[in-house]
Amino acid sequence: KLEAVIFDLDGVITDSAEYHYLAWKALAEELGLSFDRAKNERLKGVSRMESLEIVLEDSGLHLSEKEKLELATKKNENYKRMIERITPADLLPGIGSLLDGLQARGVSIGLASASHNAPLILERLEAGHWFQAVADPGSIAKGKPDPEIFLLAAEMLGVDPMNCIGVEDAEAGVRAIQAAGMKSVGIGSSDQLGAADLLLSSTFELSTDLLFGLFNRQ
């Protein structure tokens, strides 16, 4: 029986993935490094410091840990200025009615985001009331594609991972869901998310019936 749906945040609940992209792009440009959307795909779902390593790869720059921390902080300060603009109107299409529908059918709802800014974004969206569990990325050892954060959310909800569906827009995220033993829904393109059990091009296509159908199919 479908007990819970566990969501990624950035790029699934709201379009903050775009702000992450813009903030990394601004930092890369400041450093004179090339950065495009293809490279950005590799950053989705990946922690702040791991993302910085990907931005810096092939740069020839040799930075100390302190300098790296300063760059990551600079990106985050810029990102935080961008997310201040988020309002409840920024829930992605279909998300509000999906969360209402799941709640009405007694399905638990969890969040498994690698972002330390997730609680702030939920607050800006006024979306916190839908989530019975928000897994803290600060309390896990391994990020996506490791299943840890999805397993933590399931544990917080008190549900069996086998009875969960995970929803993600990142390749690393879909791999994490699958490694957790959950059914996976990918929001995006087959180039990155071809492995998902169900691939949708937009959150608009999500529905409670679709998720029950996915869970109940053999």
Interface ranges with ligand G6P (CB under 6 A): 10, 17, 20, 43-48, 51, 76, 113-117, 170
| Annotation marks residue 36 as catalytic | no
Closest separation between CB of residue 13 and Mg ion, Å? 9
Q: Pick from Mg ion, ligand G6P, none: which does 192 bind, CB < 5 to 8 A by kind?
A: none
**Closer residue to ligand G6P in complex, CB, 121/198:** 121
Q: In the block, which residue shows the tokens 């996506």?
A: 144
- Provide the edge-to-edge strand list for the sheet that holds 133-134: 133-134, 108-111, 4-7, 164-168, 183-187, 198-200
| Annotation marks residue 8 as catalytic | yes
Closest separation between CB of residue 14 and ligand G6P, Å? 12
Q: Which residues pair with 166 in a beta bridge?
A: 6, 184
Q: Pick from ligand G6P, Mg ion, none: which does 124 bind, CB < 5 to 8 A by kind?
A: none
d(CA 140, CA 127): 23
Phi first, then psi, for residue 133 (nearest 5°) are: -145, 135
d(CA 182, CA 213): 14
**Closer residue to ligand G6P in complex, CB, 43/174:** 43
- Known binding residues for Mg(2+) are 8, 10, 168-169
Query: Minimal CA–CA distance to 152: which of 111, 185, 104, 208?
Result: 111
d(CA 184, CA 83): 27
Closest separation between CB of residue 218 and ligand G6P, Å? 32
**Closer residue to Mg ion in complex, CB, 44/183:** 44
For Mg ion, the binding residues in 7-46 under the rule CB under 5 A are 8, 10-11
Binding mask 154-173 for Mg ion (x = CB under 5 A): ---------------xx---
d(CA 12, CA 33): 28
**Closer residue to ligand G6P in complex, CB, 45/161:** 45
- Judged by CB under 5 A, the number of residues near Mg ion is 5
Collapsed DSSP state (helix, strand, coil) of residue 201: coil
Give the catalytic positions in this structure: 8, 10
